[in-house]
Amino acid sequence: MTEPMKVLISDHLSDSAISIFKNKGIDVDYLPDISRERLKKIIHNYDALAIRSNTNVDKEILLLSSNLKVIGRAGIGVDNIDIDYATSKGIIVMNTPHGNSITTAEHTIAMIMSLARQIPDANVSTKKGKWEKSKFVGTEITGKKLGLIGCGNIGSIVVDRAKGLKMNVQVYDPFLTDDKSKDLGIEKVSFENLLGTSDIISIHTPLTDSTRNIINSDNIYSIKKGAWIINCARGGLIDEKALSDAINSNHIHGAAIDVFEKEPAVSNVLFKTPNTILTPHLGASTLEAQEKVANQIAEQISDYLLKGSIINSLNTPSISADEAPIIKPYAKLSELLGSFLGQVNVGEQNIISVKIEFDGKASEINSSSILSSVFCGIFKSHIDTVNIINSIQIAKQKGLEISTINHDRKCDYQNLITVTVNYESKSRKISGTLIGGKIPRITEVQGIPIEANFFTNMLYVRNYDKPGFIGSIGTLLAEKDINIASFHLGRRENSGEAVALIAVDQKVNKTIIESISNLEHVVRVDGMNF
């Protein structure tokens, strides 16, 4: 009996999320306050890890995660996960990018309103028995120009809410299309223009090398004097010391900050800075959002472990639960085709480009999910660490040109996948199909029609179509006590170039391969293992 999959939840998730795992037959250990040292000792026992922001899944933890298949982050931020190293180990990283979008956007609007009417300070003053009505004179936000740095899921919701409050919205986002900006009814501007003309600036970008300290000491004084700054996205997007100095010098009127460079923020330069509203990373902290993202990540992890579906992955193409059983046999066929070409090329020329063509029903599948299988097959004969997750990353690191073509044309097969690998001075090509939609089968090698199933041990022989070839190779293998399971031939023309695919019952060593290559009419021999 197969043991059930095991999931470790190392941060606080809802009871309903735990129930989702259990109801699907997945073992769950709920250890929300686990220490790092304890995590290091037990992580090898688990197929999946469900986290929020408190668990730091770095290289040290990943090195010990020998059985880990997937990491699920309940929420959007994944800066606490070493995604590159997880990818190299073949571990899928998922998040829930939409589950807390509304909540975070609403918190942004709440921060703007609180800053505009000085609500926190007025609250404290009133509770102290003071009645400082004249002190807390607020500012209307109607007609104010709101500048958004970034306009993804959360930013788009902020736009909608801000327009409802009759604010004028402008956006700096190099990835925002003109059509999308028109749909949102907003103005796209340059970064410099946004800084210089916005009354309120709100940041909605992920934390990357290019966005770290996007507001800093070099540009903060180019911001319109008297502007407000809001950050409910990620800590590290603003140089906190520069912000404090700009507020203290009265260049920036004030700021509302929910996220900090170092969290938990028990000490920070902004704590003693006037005209600031600071909250402890509350952007996603509503009952609705917490429940939603916890349940979503539980469903995503479960579907991957049990069905092979991949949703909201950050390091591999997504595959829906409906697509997974359809794609699986095509992925297997693609990996075998790639493996064939990879084994033929071991120790030879560098690969320049790879082209993958889809015919028949194969042209209807999600081709992006097939690419990783092809490259996994190509590389696995000479890169020990390659896997389905990191194969595309390796291909890009090698600078390979990758192209896919979905053909709408008459085809001799119900489905057909063709892989062409181009080298420095030559190319190799193989085609394959699925028999009955399940069994991988070779249909063509180097433009020569030949039909053969993949076998654990095979010989790929290039030869001339001459009498005596079959007899000589059959005799040699018999002398070496190697049994032939199947023998398939194909030729380009009578007496011309031909290929043979020979399935044998045991692995053929290099000495025997050399003996075969010395036979008359034989051009080349490759031993293959699938």
Evaluate whether 477 touches 484 at the Cβ level (below 8 Å): yes
pLDDT tens for 413-439 read 999 999 999 988 789 999 999 998 899
Tell me the backbone φ, ψ of residue 363, rounded to 5 degrees: -75, -10
Fold of 323-454: 60s Ribosomal Protein L30; Chain: A; (3.30.1330)
* Domain 101-278 in the same topology as domain 6-96+289-307: yes
**Looking at the predicted structure, is the pLDDT value of residue 287 above 90?**
no
Catalytic choice (187, 263, 291, 451) = 263
Which SS3 state, helix, strand or coil, does residue 499 take?
strand
Instruction: Mark whether 281 is an active-site residue.
Output: yes
**Looking at the predicted structure, is the pLDDT value of residue 110 above 90?**
yes
pLDDT at position 348 is 60
List the structure tokens of 312: 């909201």
Q: d(Cα 418, Cα 444) in Å, to the nearest integer?
A: 9
**Domain residue extents for the chain:** 6-96+289-307, 101-278, 323-454, 456-530
Tell me the backbone φ, ψ of residue 313, rounded to 5 degrees: -80, 145
pLDDT at position 393 is 86
Q: d(Cα 218, Cα 20) in Å, to the nearest integer?
A: 49
pLDDT at position 179 is 86
Average pLDDT over residues 21-34: 96
Q: Which residues pair with 230 in a beta bridge?
A: 202, 256
Query: Which helix H or strand E contains 184, and what residues bound it?
Result: helix 178-184
pLDDT at position 528 is 92
Evaluate whether 224 touches 254 at the Cβ level (below 8 Å): no
Catalytic choice (107, 281, 428, 462) = 281
pLDDT at position 347 is 56
Which SS3 state, helix, strand or coil, does residue 418 take?
strand
What is the number of alpha carbons within 13 Å of residue 464 lying toward its C-beta?
Answer: 9
Average pLDDT over residues 147-151: 96
Domain 101-278, CATH homologous superfamily name and number: NAD(P)-binding Rossmann-like Domain (3.40.50.720)
Instruction: Mark whether 263 is an active-site residue.
Output: yes
pLDDT tens for 307-365 read 989 999 988 888 888 888 889 999 999 999 999 999 986 556 688 999 999 999 999 88
Whole-angstrom CA distances from 448 to 184, 378, 418, 499 are: 55, 21, 13, 8
Closest residue by Cα to residue 164 from 182, 146, 137: 146
Average pLDDT over residues 205-230: 95
Cα Rg of the chain, angstroms: 30
pTM (2 decimals)?
0.71
Q: Which residues contact 322 (CB under 8 A, 6 or more apart)?
A: none
pLDDT at position 285 is 86
pLDDT at position 471 is 93
Mean model confidence pLDDT for the chain: 93
pLDDT at position 346 is 54
Q: d(Cα 323, Cα 461) in Å, to the nearest integer?
A: 37
In 20-108, DSSP assigns E strands to: 27-30, 48-51, 70-73, 92-95
Average pLDDT over residues 115-140: 95
Q: d(Cα 181, Cα 356) in Å, to the nearest integer?
A: 35
Evaluate whether 358 touches 416 at the Cβ level (below 8 Å): yes
Domain 6-96+289-307, CATH homologous superfamily name and number: NAD(P)-binding Rossmann-like Domain (3.40.50.720)
**Looking at the predicted structure, is the pLDDT value of residue 2 above 80?**
no
Average pLDDT over residues 221-236: 97
Sequence length of the chain is 530
Among residues of the chain, what percentage have pLDDT more than 70?
A: 99
Catalytic choice (52, 73, 107, 234) = 234
pLDDT at position 232 is 96
**Looking at the predicted structure, is the pLDDT value of residue 369 above 80?**
no
**Looking at the predicted structure, is the pLDDT value of residue 19 above 80?**
yes
Evaluate whether 393 touches 432 at the Cβ level (below 8 Å): no
Average pLDDT over residues 266-295: 93
Average pLDDT over residues 12-22: 95
Evaluate whether 264 touches 287 at the Cβ level (below 8 Å): no
Q: Which residues contact 220 (CB under 8 A, 6 or more apart)?
A: 239, 242, 243, 246, 251, 252
Fold of 456-530: Alpha-Beta Plaits (3.30.70)
In 361-467, DSSP assigns E strands to: 401-406, 415-423, 427-435, 439-445, 448-453, 457-464
